[in-house]
Amino acid sequence: MGLEHAAAMQTEITDQRIEGTRVFRAPGRVNLVGEHTDYNEGFVMPAAINFATTVTVAPRADRRLSVFSENCEEAIEFDLDDPKLRAASHWSDYVKGVAVVLEQSDHRLRGANLRIHGEVPIGSGLSSSAALEVSTAFALLANSGHCVAPVDVAKLCQRAENEFVGMRCGIMDQFISCCGQADRALMLDCRSLDYRVLPVPTDVRLVISNTMVKHELASSQYNVRRAECEAGVHHFAQSRPGVRALRDVTETELERARVDLSEVIYRRCRHIVSENARVLEAAEALESGDLDSFGQRMNESHRSLRDDYEVSCKELDLMVELAGHVDGVYGSRMTGGGFGGCTISIVEAERVKDFERTVARGYEEETGLKPEIYVCRAAAGAGEVT
C-alpha cells in the first residue's frame, strides 16, 4: 500500500466520530539495578518511564490489520488469516508477532486500523520494542472485546519478541511496561515473576543519558555472555544438581570454585552473583528511603559490569564518571545490555539542570558527541488513554 492511501486512511481512524476508536499507551522503561541477571533467573529493578508509545485503534469489518507508524512514516497491511506471516527484519514484525501470538493463544482478533506514535527513543535501550508490543496488544485485545491480565499480556508480548521477531529477550521489558506504577520501581524475580513494589522518592529524577553510540559488539557479545553463564551453571550443577541458573549459586560456593574455573568464567559468575545481592540490598535501601546506600549499589553495579562482566565501553564509563562529579547525584551506572546506549543516574530534582549542563558539556568536549538526556519519573504501566 502506498503512503498516500495510508495517510488518507489514517486521517479517518484518528477521527473521533468513528465508532469504537480508542487509544492505548505503553511506556518504555529503565532498569535501575540488576543488569544481565534476567537470563540468569535473577533479580532486576526496572521502572516504567514517562515516555510511551501510543496506539490509536479503530475496528474494521474484515480480518485485516492496517498499521501506520508515524515514526517510520510507513504503512503496512496484512490479513490475520494469512498463514505465511513471517518476520522480515522490519518494524512491523513486532505488530505482526503480537497479533500472531494473541491468535495462537485463543484470542481471536477483529480487523483494525492502527496508528502508532512512539516517543520512546528507538534503539537506545529504553525498550521502544516492548512499548510497541504492549501498546499494540492492549489495543488489539480491547478492539476484539478480550480482557487479559497485564502479567499475561507481558508474557504474550515476550513470546512475540522471542518466537516471531526472533529476539531472545527476557520478560523484564514487557513486564514493567504492563505493570509499572507511578513513583514506584519494581523488584522483579525473573524466575517466579514475583515482585516487590518500591517507592521512588518524588524529589529525585531518573536521569537517562544517551551516549549516542552503539558498538557492533553488543549482540555478538550478548550471546557470548549467555554462553559463559551457561558454562558456569554447568560447572556448579555437576557438584550440586539443584543449580539450574547462576541465580542458585552463593558467594561462598563461587569462591570455593574459583580454582576450578577459568579466570573469565569466574569473573562473569562473580558479576551475576554479586549483582543479584546488590539488587536485594538496593531494594532494602529504597524501602527505607536510604538513597545514599541505593546510589552506592548502582555505582558498584557499574564497576562490576565494567571490570568483571566487561560489557561497558569508554563512552559509558565517561558518562558515569562525569555524573559522579555533579552535586546531588546519588548514583550512576550503565543500563541495558552495554557497549553503548544509556546510563541511569538518580539525581535530586533541583540539581537536574546542573546535571544536564555539566554532563552534556563534559561528554561533548571529550567525545565530540552531543548526548541526549531524558529526565524521567517512574510512570504507570500500560492502559487506555481516556
**Edge-to-edge order in the sheet of strand 46-59:** 74-79, 64-69, 112-118, 46-59, 22-31, 383-384
Q: In this complex, which beta carbon is closest to ligand ADP, that of residue 134 or of residue 188? A: 134
Total binding residues for Mg ion by CB under 5 A? 2
18 vs 355: CA distance, rounded Å: 46
From the list ligand ADP, Mg ion, none, partner contacted by residue 87 (C-beta under 5 to 8 A by kind): none
Among Mg ion, ligand ADP, none, the one that 125 touches (CB under a kind-dependent 5 to 8 A) is ligand ADP
Is position 231 an interface residue for ligand ADP (rule: CB under 6 A)? no
Catalytic residue among 15, 79, 82, 173: 173
Rounded Cα–Cα distance for residues 246 and 254 (Å) = 10
Q: Is 79 a catalytic residue?
A: no
Cα distance between residue 376 and residue 7, in whole Å? 32
Q: Smallest distance from the beta carbon of 235 to ligand ADP, in angstroms? A: 31
Judged by CB under 6 A, does residue 53 bind ligand ADP?
A: yes
Closer residue to Mg ion (CB): 220 or 239: 220
How many angstroms from the chain centroid is the CA of residue 51?
Answer: 12
Stretch that binds Mg ion, among 67-75, 86-94, 124-132, 279-287 (CB under 5 A): 124-132
What percent helix, strand, coil does the chain show, rounded to 5? 45, 25, 30
The reply on whether position 129 binds Mg ion by CB under 5 A is yes
Footprint (CB under 6 A) of ligand ADP, residues 123-182: 123-129, 132
Binding characters for ligand ADP, 113-132, by CB under 6 A (x = yes) = ---x-x---xxxxxxxx--x
Question: Residue 92, CB half-sphere, CA atoms under 13 Å: how many?
Answer: 17
Strand partners, 117: 54
Residue 116 binding result from Mg ion, ligand ADP, none, given CB thresholds of 5 to 8 Å by partner type: ligand ADP
Distance CA 333, CA 359 (A): 14
Distance CA 25, CA 11 (A): 19
Binding residues (CB under 5 A) for Mg ion: these are: 127, 129
Binding interface with ligand ADP (CB under 6 A):
53, 69, 71-72, 91, 94, 116, 118, 122-129, 132
